[in-house]
Structure 1
């Protein structure tokens, strides 16, 4: 028997005017002649984004959802070189404290998936530097919400740079330049184009990083289509984590556009996976990556109720027998 907790990504299709990713481009910033006024506008956008995150967390509570990925675009231009002197966290502290208070009353697994430009295996020192600055921003947000930052940021391995083996070794080389507290934040995910499950396991086992298994990515990009022989190795990468094993679930849009995410999750495909792994772990957290966000979660819950081996605990958690 295994308990499964469902989560979804960043925003709701049900809540109106609740984007956590409102933005401002640097071109727009430059058009405001008064720099101080431009920064104040940036701060208002960031505060609004964070307040919308709190609305989303309250929405999750109403539906028993205790697993959620926050947007990584809460603070526009946070790492822009022209704004290096901007203390972007200070204006957010009050709202961050509100979120911390809410999460104390309603504990929830919160994490991030920083954007694709965070490349820890880049051979370019400047790109690595910006990537570390981005991780520092995520650490500041987690600290402000009073969340232990260990294993809260999912990353892809990075770029292939026309030599995948060298790119893997570059990751190991660069890892030495990542401060220990930022290393502790990182989880790695197998991707759908370059780094397979086996490639990612190589790094995770060597560097003691938890592996977030993405089944859809694996089916799009694999060395061995059958992931089951490697399942115990995936589980073992979590042995040093205070958090339960995490995976991503999504379904292909169609056979032609296989890598793209569908609006919803194919319950039959998900059940096939669950029946393979039930009993091998006590608890698994499944992050739904679907275009319809929370509606995809609600739809999946309704679909799963038709399976006799599923026993729901509440609106977003169930046992699989």
Structure 2
């Protein structure tokens, strides 16, 4: 029987005053006048964000949630051009170590999803180089937690720049400019507008990158590709990974706003997918990308408990019968 573990993204709607994404804009930074004092404030914000990340992980542990995606906005302005030379990792050493100890103790799978402006396949160096700096920040945060960095960041292929085939090949070319340690950290996800499942599989197979299958994105942008026929190929991209297969699950907000994420996950839609893949692999870690965050996970679990097709293992994991 296939084990399915549920996770959620970024923040909790149940924990109060626990945002991991408190921020400061560069305009606010400049207004402080004193650069050293402004950097000190940035560091205090980042430490507070990490302390809230630990609160989130403790909340997750209490509910048997073994799978979590951190916010990519933990360290505000970390890669801003005007803050080059700011050694933010020194100030974050202790809270990152505390996070790592908790992650290790509870056997949690954690990772990141860098923002949409991180574009490996950009034709412009002024976009590509900051993208690498952003990925390096994620790498350093994982290292600071003493988490094995392999396959911990998922990203989209990038922009199609109105020439999709050229954009795919530019990803391959630019990938050769990405340091090996960063390459090792990455996974790719099919998106809902530019690069569908077969496009993404092409890159993942060519470059040996795991593919994170996003079911909702596929339904929004499938180009008549039947995902079921490609599932074995998706699984094969994980053959060399030390981690279980990872996927994303969300539901459309409405028929007219199909690409937008709903507040909760539709059980029937979820089970339609799972019935197709059960038995195909030992484990799937499923990241819920719903507006209601952990509340969406809790509601889904409540529904799953009543479904005869599943056997609950703990509060956030189950086996498909």
**Same fold per superposition (TM over 0.5):** yes
Between stretches 94-103 and 288-297, larger displacement belongs to: 94-103
Asked if the contact 2:198–2:225 (Cα under 8 Å) also holds between the matched residues in 1, the reply is no
- Confirm whether residue 248 of structure 1 aligns to residue 248 of structure 2: yes
The corresponding residue for 1:301 is 301
Question: 1:220-250: CA deviations, max 9, x gaps?
Answer: 0012242100000000000010000000000
> C-alpha displacement at 1:162, in angstroms?
1.0
The corresponding residue for 2:93 is 93
Asked if the contact 1:113–1:154 (Cα under 8 Å) also holds between the matched residues in 2, the reply is yes
The corresponding residue for 2:215 is 215
Question: Once superposed, what is the RMSD of the aligned Cα atoms?
Answer: 0.6
For residues 100 and 187 of structure 2, what CA distance do their matches in structure 1 show?
Answer: 23
For residues 100 and 81 of structure 2, what CA distance do their matches in structure 1 show?
Answer: 30
For residues 244 and 289 of structure 1, what CA distance do their matches in structure 2 show?
Answer: 18
For residues 274 and 229 of structure 1, what CA distance do their matches in structure 2 show?
Answer: 14
The corresponding residue for 1:187 is 187
Normalised to the residue count of structure 2, the TM-score between the two structures is 0.99
For residues 320 and 225 of structure 1, what CA distance do their matches in structure 2 show?
Answer: 25
State the secondary structure of the residue aligned to 1:287.
strand
State the secondary structure of the residue aligned to 1:89.
helix
1:61-100 correspondence runs (5 A) = 61-100=61-100
State the secondary structure of the residue aligned to 1:232.
helix
State the secondary structure of the residue aligned to 1:253.
coil
For residues 94 and 2 of structure 1, what CA distance do their matches in structure 2 show?
Answer: 38
State the secondary structure of the residue aligned to 1:18.
coil
For residues 307 and 300 of structure 2, what CA distance do their matches in structure 1 show?
Answer: 12
Q: For this pair of structures, how many residues does the alignment match? A: 321
For residues 248 and 6 of structure 1, what CA distance do their matches in structure 2 show?
Answer: 10
Asked if the contact 1:198–1:223 (Cα under 8 Å) also holds between the matched residues in 2, the reply is no
1:1-321 correspondence runs (5 A) = 1-321=1-321
Question: 1:65-115: CA deviations, max 9, x gaps?
Answer: 000000000000000011001001111101011111112211100010000
Unaligned runs of 5+ in 1: none
Between stretches 101-110 and 18-27, larger displacement belongs to: 101-110
For residues 50 and 295 of structure 2, what CA distance do their matches in structure 1 show?
Answer: 22
For residues 98 and 209 of structure 1, what CA distance do their matches in structure 2 show?
Answer: 30
State the secondary structure of the residue aligned to 1:184.
helix
For residues 211 and 105 of structure 1, what CA distance do their matches in structure 2 show?
Answer: 28
Unaligned runs of 5+ in 2: none
For residues 123 and 222 of structure 2, what CA distance do their matches in structure 1 show?
Answer: 25
Compared CA separation, residues 176 and 225, structure 1 to 2 (3 A): closer
For residues 104 and 167 of structure 1, what CA distance do their matches in structure 2 show?
Answer: 39
Normalised to the residue count of structure 1, the TM-score between the two structures is 0.99
Asked if the contact 2:20–2:71 (Cα under 8 Å) also holds between the matched residues in 1, the reply is yes
For residues 101 and 203 of structure 1, what CA distance do their matches in structure 2 show?
Answer: 35
Asked if the contact 2:4–2:285 (Cα under 8 Å) also holds between the matched residues in 1, the reply is yes
Asked if the contact 1:112–1:152 (Cα under 8 Å) also holds between the matched residues in 2, the reply is yes
